[in-house]
Amino acid sequence: KQEVTQIPAALSVPEGENLVLNCSFTDSAIYNLQWFRQDPGKGLTSLLLIQSSQREQTSGRLNASLDKSSGRSTLYIAASQPGDSATYLCAVKEAGTALIFGKGTTLSVSS
Amino acid sequence: DGGITQSPKYLFRKEGQNVTLSCEQNLNHDAMYWYRQDPGQGLRLIYYSQIVNDFQKGDIAEGYSVSREKKESFPLTVTSAQKNPTAFYLCASSISGQGRTNEKLFFGSGTQLSVL
C-alpha cells in the first residue's frame, strides 16, 4: 500500500532563506505528484503538479522536482517570506485511487 | 466565480445525532471526494465519486454515508455510528478522476465538526 512521508514535520527559518521540503513515497507507479499549501483552518490550494513523465515544475519562487525511481520529491522555496508560512502537503496519484497525502510540513518564516 | 462551496463552516453534533455536510461545485467536474483531517495529520479519504449515482468507499468510510444524485452535489452524512467525528472535513473535485497525469484536485474551504 502506498505511503507518503514528509520530513521535517515542522521547519522555522528567517526571512530570505532558501529552503527545501521533502516528500517520499513507497511505490513508484504513480500518475503524478502534487504539492499543496494549507493555511490554518482553510482548504488546500494546489501549488505544483508534476506528471509521472516530468522531472520538475516551476512557479515563481517555487520549484518541485520528482525522482520516481527513488520515490522522492522536493519542494524548493527561494527567498522565503513571512507570507510563505503555512503547511505544505504532498500527495501522489495512483491508478484507480484518489490522491494519497503525506502529513505535511508546517513552515514558519520569521521577519 | 467557479469553485467548491462547503457549508456550514462550523457544525456541532449532539450525541446520537446524524449531521450532513454540504458540498457543491460549479466546475463541471465529474469526480468529487471527501477527506477527513485531524490535527497534525494528513488527509484521509472517506468516500469518492467519479460519476453521478456511483461512489466508492475510501480508507475510513465506517460511520459515514454519501449520495451523488446530481453532478454538482456530494453531501456527506456523519452518522451516530461514527464515534469520533470531531475533525476538519474537506471536499474536493477533479475533472474526471480517471487518472489523467495532469489532473489537478481542487478543494473547498472545509467544515469543522465538533461534538457537544
pLDDT of A31-78, one tens digit each? 999 999 999 999 999 999 999 999 999 999 999 999 999 999 999 999
Q: In a 3-state reduction of DSSP, which class is residue B92?
A: strand
Cβ–Cβ under 8 Å, residues A111 and A16: no
Cβ of residue B58 closer than 8 Å to a chain A Cβ: yes
Strand pairing category for A19-25 and A4-7: antiparallel
| Mean pLDDT, chain A, whole residue set | 95
CB contact under 8 A, B107 and A53: no
Kindly give the parts of chain B with pLDDT less than 50.
Answer: none
* Omega before B85 within 30 of 0, i.e. cis: no
How much of chain A exceeds pLDDT 90, in percent?
92
Grid cell, residue B18, equals 446524524
Interchain pair A41, B105: CB under 8 A: no
For residue A29, count other CB atoms closer than 10 A to its CB: 11
Provide the pLDDT for residue B41: 81
Strand A19-25 relative to strand A86-93, pairing: unpaired
Asked if A95's CB is within 8 angstroms of B112's CB, the reply is no
Q: Could you say which DSSP state residue B74 is in?
A: -
Name the band, by pLDDT with cuts 50, 70 and 90, for residue A24.
very high
Residues of A in contact with B101 (CB under 8 A): 31-32, 51-53, 93
